[in-house]
Chains A and B, each alone.
Chain A
């Protein structure tokens, strides 16, 4: 499942941040805070993209269920 902060929310917020920074209206303190927040969001987006970029994993529903049950049993 996706993270609590989803990719689409993160990218939407990033676009807002870039737009605000590009406008030049942000003061020094706000700029630094926005850059800090932006870096966190970029890391989140990069992690989401990394998760769907490591190679396609195909499995049958039965295999997934068995894996989940094994995981639950081990847990």
Chain B
């Protein structure tokens, strides 16, 4: 298209010069900026992007930032190692301001044209992050969330995320995959830069304060560490650490951990994974398992009841069986008693026979003794018949000398001179006189 031929009238009442054609003004701006003094700047590299012809990056510090670009050939000539210009890397750059004036078909762009670059060391932000991480760890703030018990089947899940972000759909997809259809409370908050941290902190506190939420998912769909720096905010991280509801962090960064990843109960790589972790149980499978357990309990209960019935039936038969058993035992005992009686009678019979035999023998012996007594009596009677006392009782006298010797003749009497005459009742002494004839 050709340049407009005519220049339109200006704004009524305006004292400013013009109107000028924008292309001419843009070209003038470009020339003006290019005339600014060329300088060296230092700051942190963020969002490095490589294209075929150019390299784009942002140079930032705590007070501001500049969009920068560098010819790809110049950049490759630096021979920087892979990852040397990661987010937060501190660099010194040399160059000057430039402006691409654009056209009717292309957008204008302001840039600091880099002609030289030197890596100056670890970026301040990452160093601060590292110091804060060590501080929080030293205070033991990585542990409290991990000690909280996370319900296997939460009824209410809180989600902190950006309202228009893809993370929202990912969370819903994760919950669908679990078959979970409980109550989902959205606490939308900006999740883009460090200024978002207070809003995220407030959302977390408000969710926990309801007392209705079992677990909270903090989700973001990814981005550079610079964009995720809000999740490294000290106040936010201290709030999460001391929250009494478990927090699952998913800020979608694979290489650099944010601090919320450290203080949260669990850190997941994607919002979908975070949602699945919030509901560890697969609901459909759990229902099937509960049904299975119900059936198994039923089987055991029926088996137990059957066993009880069988036991009762056995017990009900028990008295009759017991009596029959006792009767059998009694009969047996009676048989044993009869047999024992017979054995005893037979034994006594034998013993009596032996005694009778002994008695017979004794009787025979006793009969022999009686005959002896009769004979003895006869002998005694015969002996008595010869007893001198019996003779003396009949009137005879027994003559003995002084020595007691029997004097059986007259001559003996004379020889003895002094004799004793013993009669049946007593004895008298006598003196033998001279013979008269």
Q: Which residues of A contact B (CB under 8 A)?
A: 1-2, 6-8, 11, 14-15, 17-18, 21-22, 28, 31-32, 34-35, 38-39, 42, 45-46, 48-49, 51-61, 64-65, 68
- Given A32-B304, A53-B181, A56-B182, is A64 in contact with B151 using a C-beta cutoff of 8 Å? no
Interface residues on B, range: 35 or more
B118: interface (CB < 8 Å)? no
Q: Which residues on A sit within 8 Å (CB–CB) of B301?
A: 31-32, 35
A61 interface neighbour in B149, B154, B186, Cβ under 8 Å: B186
Inter-chain CA distance A73–B157, complex, in Å, is: 24
* Chain B residue contacts of A45, Cβ below 8 A: 286, 290
**B142 an interface residue at 8 Å Cβ cutoff?**
no
B184 engages A57 (CB within 8 Å): yes
* 20 cross-chain CB contacts under 8 A: A1-B211, A6-B149, A8-B151, A8-B152, A22-B296, A28-B307, A31-B304, A32-B304, A35-B304, A39-B297, A42-B290, A48-B155, A52-B153, A56-B175, A57-B182, A58-B186, A59-B184, A61-B207, A68-B210, A68-B212
| Inter-chain contacts of A21 with B (CB < 8 A) | 296-297, 300
* Bound Cα distance from A51 to B184, whole angstroms: 13
The distance in angstroms between the C-alpha atoms of A59 and B188, with both chains bound, is: 11
Instruction: Name the residue on A nearest B302 (C-beta).
Output: A35
Contacts of B56 in A (CB 8 A): none
Is chain A's interface secondary structure helix, strand, loop, or mixed overall? Answer: helix
Interface residues of B (CB under 8 A from A): 149, 151-156, 158, 175, 179-188, 203, 206-207, 210-212, 214, 279, 281, 283, 286-287, 289-290, 293-294, 296-297, 300-301, 303-305, 307-308, 311
Known pairs A1-B211, A6-B152, A51-B182. 8 more at Cβ < 8 A?
Answer: A1-B155, A2-B154, A7-B281, A31-B303, A32-B304, A49-B286, A53-B287, A56-B184
Question: Which partner residue on chain B sits nearest A48 by CB separation?
Answer: B153
Q: Is the CB of B151 within 8 A of A7?
A: yes
A49-B287, A58-B186 as given contacts; A64 in contact with B210, CB under 8 Å: yes
